Amino acid sequence: MTLLEEKLPAAPPRPASPSRGSVTLRDLGLGIRFAAAGGREGWIRTLLTAVGVGLGVALLLLASSVPHLLDARNAREQARSENRASAYSETNAPKSDSSVLLVNTTTEYHDRTVAGFLMRADGSTPVLPPGIDRIPAPDTMVVSPALRELLDEPGNELLRERLPYEITGTIRDAGLRSPGELLYYAGSDTLTPANGGHRIGGYGDDRQGEPLPPLLIVLVIMVCVVLLAPVAIFIATAVRFGGDRRDRRLAALRLVGADIRTTRRIAAGEALFGALLGLLFGLAFFLVGRQFVGAVEIWDVSAFPADLAPDLRLASLIAVAVPLTAVLVTLVAMRSVVIEPLGVVRRGRERGRRLWWRLPVPLAGLAVLALWGRVEEYAPVNPFPITAGAVLVLFGLALLLPWLVEACVNRLRGGPVPWQLATRRLQLSSGAASRAVSGVTVAVAGAIALQMLFASMNADFNRMTGADPSRAQFAGYSEDVTGEAATSAIEQFRATKGVEVVIGSVEAYASKPGDYAEDEVEPTTSLTVGTCETLRELARIGACEDGDTFVVHPPGDKDMSAWVDETARKGEEVEIGYGNKVMRWTLPADSPTVQGREDPMGETHYGIMATTGAIDAGKVPGATITTQIRVDHSVPDVAEHVRNTAARIDPGMRFVTIESVERNRQYASIQTGLQVGASAVLLLIALSMLVSQLEQLRERRRLLSVLVAFGTRRATLGWSVLWQTAVPVVLGLAVAVAGGLGLGAMLVHLIEKDVSDWWLFWPMAGVGGALILLVTLLSLPPLWRMMRPDGLRTE
């Protein structure tokens, strides 16, 4: 015995009891050491948490970059806009050595906007938009990389035909709004102010940008809330990855003398380490991810990597909030667990979850929205009630879910074996399942509400335009008005493949000369110049010779007829044009008054009509050639053919698609974007569900082996895994659909619109269903692997 004792090392002297602060630090450090050096298992757990938190952080950083992204876009947009000489965009700058004549030749190609300008320098030192070094020579152009790519792709001959300029250069990033923008600058030697050219003196619009419209603010708030709320939930779930295993490890620490507080601090230290690592991962994901961001285009918007710079304040908020959340979540989660030296006791819930404090939260959210959230179309928006209301509703749904899952699951009895296994499992611990699914609920509910908001805004817009694409599908407005231009334009359009009807005339405004007080309305009517043939299509004209003029009344509208007569006084002068470009013209006294008629597009024309012999259309100030075109949509690419004709007639022709195509496309892309975003969030959540599923399976390895020994079929256990995922997800989706529809209806009501479509939730519900399948399918291979008898071997 004495020999033994001599060999024992001397026990180190006991240190004086350390201060509280140093104890806390020591325990946190211990936790960090466990997380960092906990062997392979420990690393996997830490890595899972870090990757989960990292994905969430990357999303948050992305969101915090949005302000800078918009600012940068806006700055580039303004830098390449004209430096306004006056408040009127029509005002030309004085001609100088640096002034430039240009015309906007923006066109549409296959639902994409191709922005473009024809330019002609007045002197030797022309002003230049950002991104190019000189004005392109006549019949050459510089293009954005995206446009160059598009032109090089096979199948885009029609676009090349429309832009018949030789490519001589590339526009640099500084001149582009986003990497995917289609833009070109082409040179011209024929552009004059007379044929549509607009003279500018410099670039850089330094006026204050307009504030975002209120509705858009509501949308932006909702997008942020909807996409970020589930991310917060996901981070909270990720922190709890592998919690059971950790608890058992802490129990072992209790055995060697750690007290409960120490275990909590150690757990907090572990969570802190995971979260800090997650921050680093998130930063890395973000920095790597933004290199590829140029390839992603949502809502017609793509961004340069440099545009994605997180707002410093928001970024620091993330850096502080994420670790703090991690620690808090861990501490809260540990409150329901008692870690004893000999094991972990989960504090059982004697009482079920209570509804009374959960239900008021979403209701309070709705109340906040209803009381303070009303949005006036033109008044500034107070973002706080809307944010608070939406957040309360969404998190309230997340609170309702555990109660609902518990209440439903506890009523489930019997059924086939897989169903019984699944429901019993959920009855025993529905908490973990509810937690993961609450992310799904919040994401889906938010997405549904947001889509309803978009849809109603969109439907509303369509109603306002009242456009009837069955009449005319295109309208062209050209200021290049010369002699026979109108006639020739009509002929060229008629000759275009797929065109059915063309109405073309030269139009200008005529008003009664005189001085008017500011609040007085100047009597004005339209002046239409065309051939007898054209005018006959617009009014009930009997005899017509070149040189005739007519006063045309709208049929059956006495008020409007009287208003026309106020201006069109026979034998008196009228003023044609506006601003500083006007001319006086006498309406011949012998002009007959006739009735207007519906043109082939179904539109009624009235005012003064003159044949080309009565007035020289080329000299009429402010005149435009107006062309309305109806096409046969069965002809492939008919729109592109018509646009090519328009570009050939006058590249500066403003060519409008009357169909609501653009708006629909915008809406569709928003919807797609939203669905992609929500799906990404759901995918994150699926990941966390998968992790906890696998963790649970691993813990039950032995039981699975026993069940195999019994002769349990794989299918039986597979189905039970499916049900175990499906039951909470389906309940979560039900809550999400109900809550989302409620929130959506409330928001739509707030912006004083009507709900246009109650069935928008199907796609999201579908994605939720796919999630169930995904989680189940991915759990099956490990399940099969674990369903082997190895787990039975005790030796």
Partner 1 sequence: MIPEGSLLAAHDLRKTYGSTPALDGASFSVHPGEVVAVMGPSGSGKSTLLHCLAGIITPDSGTITYAGRELSAMSDAERSALRRSDFGFVFQFGQLVPELTCVENVALPLRLNGVKRKAAERTALEWMERLEVDDLGTKRPGEVSGGQGQRVAVARALAASPKVIFADEPTGALDSLNGERVMELLTEAARSANVAVVLVTHEARVAAYSDRDVTVRDGRARDMEHAV
**Minimum CB separation from partner 1 for residue 305, in Å?**
50
* Cα distance between residue 57 and residue 61, in whole Å: 6
Nearer to partner 1, 406 or 650 (CB): 406
DSSP 241: T
Nearer to partner 1, 332 or 709 (CB): 709
**Minimum CB separation from partner 1 for residue 712, in Å?**
6
- Mention every residue, 6+ apart, whose C-beta is less than 8 A from residue 361: 392, 395, 396, 399, 400
DSSP 299: T
**Minimum CB separation from partner 1 for residue 711, in Å?**
3
Nearer to partner 1, 92 or 420 (CB): 420
Residues 427-446 that bind partner 1 (CB under 8 A): 427-428
Residue 199: in which H helix or E strand, if any?
A: strand 198-200
Residue 789 touching partner 1 (CB under 8 A): yes
Tokens read off for 746: 């409330």
Residues 401-430 that bind partner 1 (CB under 8 A): 414-417, 420-421, 424-425, 427-428
With contact defined as beta carbons under 8 Å apart, do 442 and 397 qualify?
yes
Burial class of residue 204 in the structure, from the number of CB atoms within 10 Å of its CB (0-12 exposed, 13-18 middle, 19+ buried): middle
Nearer to partner 1, 339 or 576 (CB): 339
**Minimum CB separation from partner 1 for residue 66, in Å?**
45
Nearer to partner 1, 426 or 448 (CB): 426
* Contact track, partner 1, 185-224, x by CB under 8 A: ----------------------------------------
DSSP 471: T
Establish how many alpha carbons lie within 13 A of residue 297's alpha carbon, considering only the half-sphere containing its beta carbon. Answer: 12
Nearer to partner 1, 74 or 427 (CB): 427
Q: DSSP of 767-791, one letter per residue?
A: HHHHHHHHHHHHHHHHHHHHSSGGG
Tokens read off for 204: 């850089």
Nearer to partner 1, 399 or 721 (CB): 721
Count of residues binding partner 1 (CB under 8 A)? 26
CA distances (Å), 527 to each of 421, 576, 577, 621, 791, in order?
82, 8, 10, 11, 92
Q: DSSP of 657-705, one letter per residue?
A: E-STHHHHHHHHHHHHHHHHHHHHHHHHHHHHHHHHHHHHHHHTHHHHH
**Minimum CB separation from partner 1 for residue 715, in Å?**
10
Nearer to partner 1, 211 or 416 (CB): 416
**Minimum CB separation from partner 1 for residue 406, in Å?**
14
Nearer to partner 1, 374 or 702 (CB): 702
298 strand-pairing partners: 301
**Minimum CB separation from partner 1 for residue 728, in Å?**
15
With contact defined as beta carbons under 8 Å apart, do 527 and 576 qualify?
yes
- Mention every residue, 6+ apart, whose C-beta is less than 8 A from residue 723: 418, 419, 421, 422, 423
Nearer to partner 1, 346 or 619 (CB): 346
* Contact track, partner 1, 694-733, x by CB under 8 A: --------xx--xxxxxxxx--x-----------------
**Minimum CB separation from partner 1 for residue 706, in Å?**
5
**Minimum CB separation from partner 1 for residue 731, in Å?**
18
Nearer to partner 1, 313 or 793 (CB): 793
Tokens read off for 470: 């069955």
**Minimum CB separation from partner 1 for residue 417, in Å?**
5
Among 17, 22, 89, 794, binds partner 1 (CB under 8 A): 794
With contact defined as beta carbons under 8 Å apart, do 132 and 171 qualify?
yes
Q: How far apart are the first and last CA of the chain?
A: 35
Residues 217-256 that bind partner 1 (CB under 8 A): none
Nearest to 146 by CA among 300, 285, 258, 371: 300
DSSP 359: T
- Mention every residue, 6+ apart, whose C-beta is less than 8 A from residue 176: 76, 131, 144, 183
**Minimum CB separation from partner 1 for residue 344, in Å?**
13
* Contact track, partner 1, 358-397, x by CB under 8 A: ----------------------------------------
- Give me the residues that bind partner 1 (CB under 8 A), please: 414-417, 420-421, 424-425, 427-428, 702-703, 706-713, 716, 789, 792-795
